[in-house]
Amino acid sequence: MTQENVLFEATETQEHSSFFHTLLEEETEFFATLSHCKSLEDAKQHITDHVALWEHQAFSNENRSIDEVSRVRDCASQFRSMLTERAEKASGFSLAETLYELATEPQRLKNCKPGFFAELLFLFRGLENRFKVEDKADFRMDNELSGRDASLKRSNQLDRLAEMSDFFMNRYRHGLEPEIVELREKNKQHILEVLQGTEKNWTDWVWQTRNVVKDPKKLDRLVSLSDTERTSIEKALRLNLPFGVTPFYLSLMGGEQGQDRSLRYQVFPPSQYVETMEAHRDDLEYSMDFMGEHDTSPEDLITRRYVGVLILKPYNTCPQICVYCQRNWEIDSAMAPNAMASPEELERAIEWIAEHPSIHEVLVTGGDPLILGDGRIRKILERLAEIDSIERIRIGTRIPVTMPMRITSELADMLGEIRDPGRLALDVVTHIQHPYEINPDMVLAVDRLRTRGIMVYNQMVYTFFNSRRFEASYLRRLLKRVGVDPYYTFNAKGKEETVDYRVPIARLLQEQKEETRLSPGLARTDEAVFNVPLLGKNYLRANQYHDWIGLAPDGSRIFEFHPWERNIAKQDTYVYQDVPILSYLNRLQNIGENPDDYSTIWYYF
């Protein structure tokens, strides 16, 4: 599914055919006075004065709620931010010039899409307090109530909010439901029949790795592929793009229409992805290195971006390839035969770590290191454990989801033996993406680790395919139930080839502040982050670490991200073009969502 510029009609303006005309009609007085300005500088001053007036009116009105006042304040702040010369230079966009042209020569903006005018329209509505939100529950207390009566009223209000969140969560299925367990057992039997395997084979992780499915014809016999999926997979293989799915993960697919959407899109490359990768095929290694790992690798197999932690990559492949993976440009194919680093390379990397006592934590990832045999894993971990400065080893792996039978009792015992309470911690960081992925085999694998004292954390990537209302919140709730702690929620990488997965930053902020906030504290321990190329994690909930500085003609917001070193050391910022909010709402509408349920998205910056 691609992001199309289909016109989404706002509820309040059904009689209008475009956001362009709606904007001009609602702001007739503002644009009329703006058109009389003699120069762009006069126009900028006119806009600045109006913004200050609207903000003053909001703060002067005693009858306005704190939500209304805050929205006006935030919109005013965004207006002022985009009016600065710094913002204009960094983004290549001038809000003042755009509004002046709308007032005097609107035909000059004919290349701007509906999403562009939608952003301006909702910004003005926020500034003038003309955007109304339906109350989910009125929490204002009756001054005549106190004690138990007041408590009961408060409890009833909380129940209303819980009913609202449960309404959305109940739409999503998960793999611990008896009906889904039964479906997947049937899938397993079918896959075993096609692959000529036995029940004993199924629980053997080596058999799973030897039967990773890469052939589209075989895949078509195992799961039902759409014509688009089949064509994209075939083309990806012709281009030598990494592709592979474990038999176990294939057994998780199927069910009611669309409920396995997130699973399929993780491993079946969409056509837009394949076409973009084809366009860059002559320079994949550098053009697809979104995080700039070439420039943060002081030694082969090592990536270092922060002060006390680094990444060690001993094994450069996985049994299953995530389409939107940060490092799939490094991987030749699923279970590539020459993916293991040489003993000499690995020893040099570990020696480099030992020579840098400022490193206290090592993330062993890749590729997926848990696809190695127990002996090789033990050798790597024991060498790291010998380094006095190392206090924690993290293992980055998707094995609990893609091949949970790999977490054998023997492997769990060995990992438990490596950890040394009080001196060396050993944790597992996995990637569970959707409630539909959770299943009894994964729960058993996690429990084996937890009972050996190994904490299990989750890093979720926030994509279009898990971004519906309360979809991510429901995943966190289930994760805590099975013993996995939410750790990070990553905004999908702003890579050209993964545009089908990307979600506006505003949606992730909305999810964190409206949906996640309704969960108990232990179920919302993850941090929403944007991984800035070369610089690293930018904490999205901390508004002071990024600024909205402009708009692209298609309605994409242009942000300037500040480095994590801010106030510690000098570093450059990073300018990023997001995906249009309007396009995202259209996509939701196309899969049956009501855009009105997401109406406040415009006011998250």
pLDDT value at residue 3: 33
SS3 560: strand
d(CA 589, CA 22): 21
Separation between Cα atoms, residue 120 and residue 100, nearest integer Å: 13
What does DSSP say about strands 309-315 and 302-303: parallel, antiparallel, or unpaired? antiparallel
| d(C-alpha 150, C-alpha 165), whole Å | 23
Kindly state the average pLDDT of the residues 505-516: 95
Q: How many Cβ atoms sit within 10 Å of the Cβ of residue 349?
A: 23
Of the given ranges (53-62, 191-200, 324-333, 535-544), which has the lowest mean pLDDT?
Answer: 324-333
* Predicted local distance difference test score (pLDDT) of residue 10: 39
417 vs 60, higher pLDDT = 417
**Mean pLDDT in residue range 187-196:** 98
Q: What is the model's pLDDT at position 1? A: 33
pLDDT, position 142 = 62
The arithmetic mean of pLDDT across residues 510-531, rounded, is 91
pLDDT at residue 380 in the model: 98
Looking at residues 458-485, what average pLDDT do you find? Answer: 97
Query: How many Cβ atoms from other residues are within 10 Å of residue 135's Cβ?
Result: 11
pLDDT above 90 for 470: yes
Neighbours of 321 (CB within 10 A): 24
Q: What is the pLDDT of residue 295?
A: 78
The one-letter amino acid at 460: M
Q: With bands split at pLDDT 50, 70 and 90, how would you rate the model's confidence at 207?
A: very high
pLDDT at 527: 92
Return the pLDDT at 2. 35
Examine the pLDDT at 286 and tell me if it is beyond 60.
no
The terminus-to-terminus CA distance of the chain in angstroms comes to: 26
pLDDT value of residue 257: 81
The DSSP secondary structure of 455-475, one letter per residue, reads -EEEEEEE-GGG-STTHHHHH
SS3 content of the chain, % helix, strand, coil (to 5): 50, 10, 35
Q: Which two tokens stand for residue 412?
A: 């769990």
Q: Is the pLDDT of residue 253 over 50?
A: yes
H or E stretch covering 99 = helix 95-104
Are 253 and 264 in contact by the 8 Å Cβ rule? The answer is yes
As a dihedral over the C-alpha atoms of residue 345, residue 350, residue 352, residue 356, rounded to 10 degrees, the angle is: 170
CB 103 within 8 A of CB 35: yes
Q: What angle do CA 217, 255, 477 make, to 5 degrees?
A: 120
Q: Are 19 and 97 in contact (CB under 8 A)?
A: no
Distance CA 569, CA 60 (A): 41
Which of 2-11, 80-89, 192-201 holds the top average pLDDT?
192-201
Binned at pLDDT 50, 70 and 90, residue 325 comes out as confident
DSSP three-state, residue 113: coil
Q: How far is CA 234 from the centre of its chain?
A: 27
For tokens 């490193």, name the residue.
359
* DSSP 8-state secondary structure symbol assigned to residue 439: -
pLDDT for position 77: 94
CB 333 within 8 A of CB 317: yes
The residue among 497 and 1 whose pLDDT is bigger is 497
How high is the pLDDT of residue 283?
A: 62
Percent of the chain with pLDDT over 90: 73
- What is the average per-residue pLDDT within 92-118? 92
Q: What percentage of the chain carries pLDDT values higher than 70?
A: 93
SS3 at position 519? coil
Contacts of residue 582, defined as CB under 8 A and 6 or more positions apart, other chains included, come to 5, 8, 113, 114, 115, 118, 119, 555
CA-nearest of 131, 262, 169 to 596 is 131
pLDDT digits over 357-383, tens only?
999 999 999 899 999 999 999 999 999
Residues paired with 361 in a beta bridge: 309, 392
